[in-house]
Amino acid sequence: MAIVAKSLKYTKHGEPQDVLELVEQKIESPQAKQVLVKILAAPINPADINTIQGKYPVKPKFPAVAGNEFVGEVICVGDEVKSVETGQHVVPLATGLGTWTTHAVYQEDQVMAVSKNVGLAEAATITVNPCTAYRMLKDFVQLKPGDTVIQNGANSAVGQAVHQLCRAWGINSIGIVRNRPEIEELKQMLQCLGATAILTEEEIRTSDIFKTGKLKRPKLAFNCVGGKSATEVSRHLDNSGVMVTYGGMSREPVTVATGPLIFKDIAFRGFWMTRWSKENYDTPERKQMFKDLCDLMEQGKFVAPVHEMVPLDKFKDAAAAALSFKGFTGKKFILDMSK
């Protein structure tokens, strides 16, 4: 069986709308431990854009198919495949597979089956943002119900995932966002996802939310902004609290406030999901993480970030929008190849 796939390829680094080309290529039948997958949906993540631009630590070999996440349906399998079956939905276990394509052949151990009861948008975006939120909540501080976490960039895809996981696990989630005309609408949306409170960067400087004892001081903080925002968030950490930096949207360094560093003995750590996934490729911890996330998704307790589905042939518009979109939720664009 031969299938002609349409793939978004690039042969040099640059802006996505300039270097990506929609090309056709023949896909041969899977052999041995290979699986042929029809890609149903694949998101456009900031890391995907940065990879195409040549600004990300992961450097593909050219010619390269863009994209890192997907959900797909198994069309057929090689005669030695045991872990997935024809008709199942799968998501990637490996990184850098090249997912902005209608069809692809992957090794059996590069994909993982997920229930068809998990929505396409949720499944397509499960391996980066929800996993980042999950690991940061699990791996740095031993949290228990009633504890508090605080984060800037609280309307990002990771931020939305943090709020939902905190609600599921009984943890108070305080989010910091930039002020904007639609701030009340944004606050309401994030609180519906599970945020305990949403404050602007100006409000957090004068808030008494922790001083009054309304909530415990945070044991854990997440930073994806850097600069003054990170410094302000770190001031609210409890004794021996930990700030985890996983992004730097302001492109400004993380500056440590001397007082909290000395007198509270706070710690600063970094986290990169790609590194964790490579180091824990086939571990029980990784399998349990995916099970927990899929269970919440099937129960309707975890939804995909605010998103827009875009046809593959509109990729230039989607890539340009992903680069320029400044909406209050940081909307994610997902390439839709399900039809």
Q: The tokens of 52 are what?
A: 């195409």
Q: At what angle do helices 129-139 and 284-298 cross, to 10 degrees?
A: 120
Contact call for residues 245 and 254 (beta carbons, < 8 A) = yes
- 161 three-state secondary structure: helix
State how far the alpha carbon of 331 is from the alpha carbons of 67, 152, 307, in Å: 17, 17, 5
User: Residue 127: which of 331, 312, 289 has the closest Cα?
Assistant: 289
Write down the catalytic residue from 56, 134, 246, 281. 56
Beta strands at 148-152 and 220-223: parallel, antiparallel or unpaired: parallel
Contact call for residues 150 and 201 (beta carbons, < 8 A) = no
Q: The tokens of 38 are what?
A: 């029809």
Residue 56 falls in the annotated catalytic set: yes
Continuous H helices in 44-128 = 46-53, 120-124
Cα 23 to chain centroid distance, Å, stands at 27
Cβ-Cβ contacts under 8 Å for 19 (sequence gap 6 or more): 10, 11, 12, 13, 52
Residues with a known catalytic role: 56
